[in-house]
Every structure is written in structure tokens, then in C-alpha cells.
């Protein structure tokens, strides 16, 4: 897809509020003895490559209490999304994402419904060898896409949609703030 001058890209990131409900998959703790296995598992969740992942993925609360539309897994660059965000993306034909089934429990063992695992299927390619710039020609045209292995990027349209619908606790960082964006 052609990058137009009116198209901007934004890295999404959790604001990391300590009050936000956070959860980790049980499998994370099972695999902790092998860093390679943990990384492979988390990448599978983030990118929607669930062929070797047993679903539904079971999550347990680790911190926080406030249920938001995006629940993060802290430093893992992975998210759970509410059914509200899922429906918002579906109704607006947002591309480059999928969900996977989860079972989510709070600290007391109560099941929490209406959340899904969030995976990014849109492809954005890689940063330059020196990690200083990004060439837009690598982008597959998806509304949501991944650059490198864990940088989630959205288009202006998705950022506006999220803001308009008051999806909170997310930060939208212009891609140009972190990397030189090469349009050639």
C-alpha cells in the first residue's frame, strides 16, 4: 500500500497505570526455566501464530484492579482487549489483527468474561540495520501492524477511532518520534 503524506503512523503503548488490571498467561510461569521457550510463546501470542499454543490460553491477574479496554502484560508487549474494542475493530473493518480465546481469572479465582487475547497479524517489516530508521515500503497496508518483533503500529484512522471511542490507558507515539521514516 502506498504511504500518503496525510497518513501518519503511531506506536501504541500502555500508559502502565498501576491501577490497571494486568494478567499473565499461566504458561509464562511454566516456561520460565527456558528464556527461549518464553520468548517463542510470547511472540506466538503477539503475532497470532498459535499453531503450537493450546487454547484457550489461561490468564491470572497479577496486579491492578481497574478493567480497561486494553489490558497489558507489563513488559511483554502483549495485550488482552475487551469485547468493546473487538466489536469496534470489527464494525469499522480494521485490518491487521485477530483475537484468540482466553480464560481470565482475578486473584480470587473468579472468571472474568468479555476479554480476548489480541494478536497483530499486519506486517511492517524491520528497522534499518542501525535501528534508526524505518522504510514504509515494508508495510503491508494493514491498519494495525508489527515492526520488528514487538513494536505495534497503528494508522491515523485507528488512532482516531480509539480516541473517539474513549479507549483509555494507551499512548499514541508518532512513529517519527522514535525513528526516521523513509518514504522512498
Query: Could you report the per-residue pLDDT of 93-113, keeping only the tens digit for each?
Result: 999 999 999 999 999 999 999
Per-residue confidence (pLDDT) for residue 114, from 0 to 100: 97
In a domain, 50, yes or no: yes
In a domain, 27, yes or no: yes
Which residues form the domain of 65?
Answer: 9-182
pLDDT > 70 fraction of the chain, expressed in percent and rounded: 95
In a domain, 4, yes or no: no
Per-residue confidence (pLDDT) for residue 5, from 0 to 100: 47
Cα distance between residue 166 and residue 150, in whole Å: 24
In a domain, 151, yes or no: yes
Q: What proportions of the chain, in percent to the nearest 5, are helix, strand and coil?
A: 25, 35, 40
What's the number of domains the chain is made of?
1
Q: 126-133, long-range: CB within 8 Å, 24+ apart, which pairs? A: 127/179, 128/182, 131/179, 132/179, 132/180, 133/179, 133/180, 133/181, 133/182
Query: Could you report the per-residue pLDDT of 112-150, keeping only the tens digit for each?
Result: 999 999 999 999 999 999 889 999 999 999 999 999 878
In a domain, 1, yes or no: no
In a domain, 3, yes or no: no
In a domain, 22, yes or no: yes
Amino acid at each position: 500500500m502506498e504511504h500518503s503524506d496525510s497518513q501518519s503512523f503511531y506506536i501504541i503503548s500502555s500508559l502502565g497505570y498501576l491501577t490497571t488490571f494486568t494478567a499473565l498467561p499461566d504458561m509464562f510461569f511454566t516456561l520460565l526455566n527456558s528464556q527461549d521457550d518464553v520468548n517463542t510463546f510470547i511472540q506466538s501470542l503477539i503475532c497470532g501464530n498459535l499453531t503450537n499454543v493450546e487454547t484457550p490460553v489461561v490468564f491470572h491477574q497479577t496486579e491492578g484492579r481497574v478493567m480497561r479496554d486494553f489490558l497489558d502484560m507489563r513488559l511483554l508487549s502483549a495485550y488482552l482487549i475487551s469485547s468493546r474494542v473487538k466489536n469496534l475493530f470489527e464494525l469499522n473493518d480494521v485490518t491487521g489483527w485477530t483475537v484468540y480465546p482466553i480464560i481470565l481469572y482475578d486473584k480470587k479465582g473468579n472468571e472474568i468474561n468479555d476479554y480476548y487475547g489480541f494478536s497483530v497479524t499486519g506486517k511492517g517489516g524491520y528497522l534499518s540495520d542501525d535501528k534508526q530508521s524505518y522504510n514504509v515500503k515494508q508495510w503491508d497496508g494493514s491498519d494495525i501492524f508489527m515492526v520488528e518483533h514487538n513494536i505495534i503500529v497503528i494508522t491515523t484512522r485507528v488512532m482516531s477511532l480509539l480516541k473517539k471511542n474513549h479507549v483509555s490507558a494507551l499512548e499514541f507515539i508518532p512513529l517519527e518520534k522514535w525513528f526516521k521514516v523513509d518514504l522512498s
